[in-house]
Amino acid sequence: MSPQKEIDPYESPRAVFGFELRRHRMAAHLSQRQLGERMGFSDSMINMVELAKRPPSRRFAELCDQIFGLDGTMLRLYTATTWHKAPEYLRPWLEEEEQATSLRSWEPTIVPGLLQTPAYAREILAVTPGITPAELDERLANRLQRQNVLQRAQPPVMNVVIDEAVLHRVIGDAVIMREQLVHLLETANRPHVTIQIVPSTVRAHCGLMSGFIIAERNGVPYAAYTDAQPFGRTFDDRQLIAELVLRYDALRAEALPFSQSLRVIEEVVHQSVTRSTALTVAQE
C-alpha cells in the first residue's frame, strides 16, 4: 500500500479530526482495518475520515474515545470541528464548500458571507427574527469559522460577482461599511480571489431574484447553494447546477473587468471618507 497522503490540520475543521484520528491510531499501533473492525466500520471509512473526505459522526467520535482510552477528546474535537451549531438548512452546504477547489459566487443584495467582516456579518445576522444574543454570537462564530476555507494552504479559487447596489447599501453605519469595502479590496489582492461588479447601469439581469454560489471540484461543478426565504437550499442536481452556471456566466459577462471593478469599490470608499470628513468639519 502506498504511503497515506499527509493531512494539513489547518486546511479545514474536518481535516483536524482526520489528522488526530490518524495520530491516535498510529500511536495505538493499529492499522485502518484493525481499527475499523473494532469500531464496526470498514477500513475504507476509516481511510476516508483520515483523509478528510468523509465527516465523522458523533458515534464514530465516541467509539474512537473508547478504543483509544481518551477522556472525551475525540468527541470534543468532533463538537469543535463540525458545523453542528450552524443552522440545519446550511450544514449540507458547509460540508460541500470545504471540499471545493473553486467557488463561483453571485450576490445581488449583500456582501457574500465568505467575504464579510465581523461587524458587517453581525449586523446582517442580528436582523434574523427572534434571534437571541447567544444565538447571534454562535452564528457569527460559525460564519467566521466558515471563512477559514480561504485561509488554508491551498484555498479554493473564488470568483465573486456582486451587484453595485451592494456597495451603496449601508449595513450598520458608514464606519462598518467603509471597513467592509476596504476588506473587499484587501481580499481581492489574494491571487486566488477575483471580485467583479455588475454596474447599476445594467438595469435588468438574470440575477436579480436571488444570490447563489457554485462549488466545483477540479473544474467540475458538483453542488450549489441558492438563497431563498426563509431558508436557503443546497442541491446537487446536475440540470439545476447547469442552469446556475449559465446564469453565472451571463452575469459575469455583464460585470466590469476585475481592475475596473476594484476602482469602483475604491471610489465608493473615497466618497465615504469625503462625506465623513465634510460632516466632521460641519459639526465643528
Say how far apart CA 214 and CA 222 lie, in whole Å.
8
Which set of grid coordinates corresponds to residue 62?
A: 465516541
Contact status, residue 136 vs residue 245, Cβ threshold 8 Å: no
152 and 57 in a single domain? The answer is: no
Mean pLDDT of the chain, nearest integer = 89
75 and 109 in a single domain? The answer is: no
Using a pLDDT cut of 90, give the percent of the chain over it: 66
Q: Which of 80, 112, 137 is the last residue of a domain?
A: 80
Q: What is the average pLDDT across 121-147?
A: 92
Q: Hey, which of 23-27, 71-75, 91-95, 231-235 has the most confident mean pLDDT?
A: 23-27
Q: What is the average pLDDT across 125-154?
A: 89
Q: 3 lies in a domain? A: no
Q: At what angle do helices 58-68 and 32-39 cross, to 10 degrees?
A: 110
If pLDDT is split at 50, 70 and 90, which confidence band does 58 have? confident
Q: 219 lies in a domain? A: yes
Q: 90 lies in a domain? A: no
- Our count of domains for the chain comes to 2
Quick: pLDDT tens for 64-109. Answer: 999 999 998 898 888 765 565 677 788 788 878 878 999 999 999 9
If pLDDT is split at 50, 70 and 90, which confidence band does 62 have? very high
CA angle 135, 136, 138 (to 5 degrees): 65
Q: 229 lies in a domain? A: yes
Cα 187 off chain centre by: 14
If pLDDT is split at 50, 70 and 90, which confidence band does 251 have? very high
Tell me, what amino acid is at 222?
Answer: Y
48 and 181 in a single domain? The answer is: no
Q: CATH number of the domain at 139, please.
A: 3.30.870
Say how far apart CA 243 and CA 172 lie, in whole Å.
34
250 and 178 in a single domain? The answer is: yes
The boundaries of the domain holding residue 244 are 95-283
Q: Considering only residues 33 and 82, tell me which one the structure prediction assigns the higher pLDDT.
A: 33
Which set of grid coordinates corresponds to residue 250?
A: 451571463
If pLDDT is split at 50, 70 and 90, which confidence band does 281 have? low
100 and 50 in a single domain? The answer is: no
163 and 200 in a single domain? The answer is: yes
Say how far apart CA 22 and CA 86 lie, in whole Å.
26
102 and 68 in a single domain? The answer is: no
Q: Considering only residues 115 and 275, tell me which one the structure prediction assigns the higher pLDDT.
A: 115
Q: CATH number of the domain at 65, please.
A: 1.10.260.40
pLDDT at residue 237, rounded to an integer: 92
Q: Which of 48, 80, 112 is the last residue of a domain?
A: 80
CA angle 207, 160, 97 (to 5 degrees): 100
Say how far apart CA 27 and CA 70 lie, in whole Å.
12
Q: 87 lies in a domain? A: no
76 and 166 in a single domain? The answer is: no
Quick: pLDDT tens for 140-186. Answer: 988 888 898 888 778 999 999 999 999 999 999 999 999 999 999 99
Q: What is the average pLDDT across 50-67?
A: 89
pLDDT of 29 over the 60 cut: yes
Q: Which residue blocks in 157-257 are alpha helix, DSSP H?
A: 165-168, 174-187, 238-254
27 and 109 in a single domain? The answer is: no
100 and 126 in a single domain? The answer is: yes
Using a pLDDT cut of 70, give the percent of the chain over it: 90
Q: Which residue has the cell 482510552?
A: 69
Radius of gyration of the chain, Cα coordinates, nearest whole angstrom = 22
Q: What is the average pLDDT across 237-266?
A: 97
67 and 177 in a single domain? The answer is: no
75 and 105 in a single domain? The answer is: no
7: left (phi over 0), alpha (psi -120 to 50) or beta: beta
Q: Which of 50, 80, 110 is the last residue of a domain?
A: 80
pLDDT of 255 over the 90 cut: yes
DSSP E strand boundaries for 72-115: 102-107
Q: 86 lies in a domain? A: no
pLDDT of 280 over the 70 cut: no
Say how far apart CA 162 and CA 44 lie, in whole Å.
42
Contact status, residue 8 vs residue 15, Cβ threshold 8 Å: yes
